[in-house]
């Protein structure tokens, strides 16, 4: 029944954990937002706008990250003869490389500190800020924005209707971007500027705070989300744009990347368990009743057959309701 709706659940134990989901934790990019970034502002410091985009695009030329794609789209003329070598990706910070003999660093404020560049105060643009340094000197920053998915607000509302008590967002983006998304969607809490290891720590904390009989679900799509997906009680990956590592680590995969499907998955899980409990109670009640009657010699062969085969057939027929 779940697979018909584009929801792949990898095992019955994950179905049970999904039914008990009380806390749902989201990654932001590609999960609550579309993951399609565009450059919305360029603020150069020592070079002009074209040169700043030119250098950033070359450094990010071979990256598969959505932010890298936005930088390449903003400067599509990558075949301009510039040589890029010694490319190095620093987890949670950004990328450094040699472009036409100059040392270029493209990433967040942590990377600027690493290369010794002093970043200037950012303009008040809402979006992800990508800083650029040339030979250790700060050269400016590029603002890249993402759009919230159309059904993200609907997803949060539907999950609350299903009894989810707490909705949390974890992101590596800046405080301002995270706050804007959290306020728009009405999330209970958010945590920004997190490294992959920080996300694991936050999930560990949330798991320690949940009550008995409750479970925590984490929803993500990137390769950096794989450790958190594996650590959560039930990991949910976005299948269409999600990385192979995230899909492999997840327990549930949403094939069309709609966050509203999470509430559907919880509803299916809870309905399935209700039907299973109905079957258990019905089967045991009938068998106990027949055993009591048999003790007084009041059971015929046909009643005994019903208590065995008949109960099984009725349980199977009742279970087929989960398909609807």
What interhelical angle do 49-59 and 66-74 show, nearest 10? 140
- Phi and psi torsions of 296, nearest 5°: -100, 10
User: Which is the catalytic residue, given 20, 27, 225, 233?
Assistant: 27
Cβ atoms < 10 Å from Cβ of 225: 29
Please give the radius of gyration of the chain, using alpha carbons only, rounded to the nearest integer.
Answer: 26
Closest by Cα among 77, 31, 24, 25 to 54: 77
Q: Give yes or no: 79 in active site.
A: no
In the chain, where do the E strands start and end? 7-9, 21-27, 38-44, 84-90, 94-99, 102-107, 128-134, 137-145, 166-170, 189-191, 215-220, 234-238, 252-254
Cβ atoms < 10 Å from Cβ of 302: 9
| Cα distances (Å, whole numbers) of residue 215 to 93, 155, 164, 235, 257 | 32, 18, 10, 11, 22
Query: Looking at the annotation, which residues are catalytic?
Result: 27
């Amino acid at each position: 029944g779940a697979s018909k709706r584009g929801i792949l659940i990898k095992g019955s134990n994950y179905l049970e954990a999904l039914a008990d989901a009380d806390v749902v934790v989201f990654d932001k990019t590609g999960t609550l937002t579309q993951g399609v970034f565009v450059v919305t502002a360029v603020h150069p410091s020592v070079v002009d706008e074209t040169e700043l985009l030119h250098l950033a695009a070359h450094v990010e030329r071979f990256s598969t990250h959505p932010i890298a794609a936005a930088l390449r789209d903003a400067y599509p003329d990558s075949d301009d003869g510039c040589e890029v070598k010694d490319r190095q990706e620093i987890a949670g910070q950004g990328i450094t490389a040699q472009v036409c003999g100059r040392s270029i660093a493209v990433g967040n404020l942590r990377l600027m500190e690493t290369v010794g560049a002093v970043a200037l105060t950012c303009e008040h643009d809402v979006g992800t800020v990508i800083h650029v340094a040339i030979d250790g000197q700060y050269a400016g920053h590029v603002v890249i924005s993402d759009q919230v998915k159309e059904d993200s607000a609907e997803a949060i509302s539907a999950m609350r209707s299903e009894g989810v008590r707490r909705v949390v967002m974890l992101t590596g983006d800046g405080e301002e971007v995270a706050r804007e998304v959290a306020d728009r969607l009405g999330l209970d809490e958010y945590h920004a500027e997190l490294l992959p290891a920080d996300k694991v720590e936050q999930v560990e904390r949330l798991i320690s705070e949940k009550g008995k009989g409750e479970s925590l679900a984490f929803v993500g799509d990137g390769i950096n989300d794989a450790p958190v997906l594996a650590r959560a009680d039930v990991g949910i990956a976005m299948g269409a744009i999600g990385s192979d590592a995230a899909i492999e680590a997840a327990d549930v995969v949403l094939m069309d990347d709609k966050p509203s499907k999470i509430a559907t998955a919880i509803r299916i899980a809870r309905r399935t368990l209700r039907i299973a409990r109905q079957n258990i109670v019905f089967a045991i009640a009938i068998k106990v009743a027949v055993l009591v009657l048999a003790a007084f010699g009041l059971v015929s062969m046909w009643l005994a057959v019903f208590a065995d085969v008949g109960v099984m057939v009725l349980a199977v027929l009742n279970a087929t309701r989960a398909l609807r």
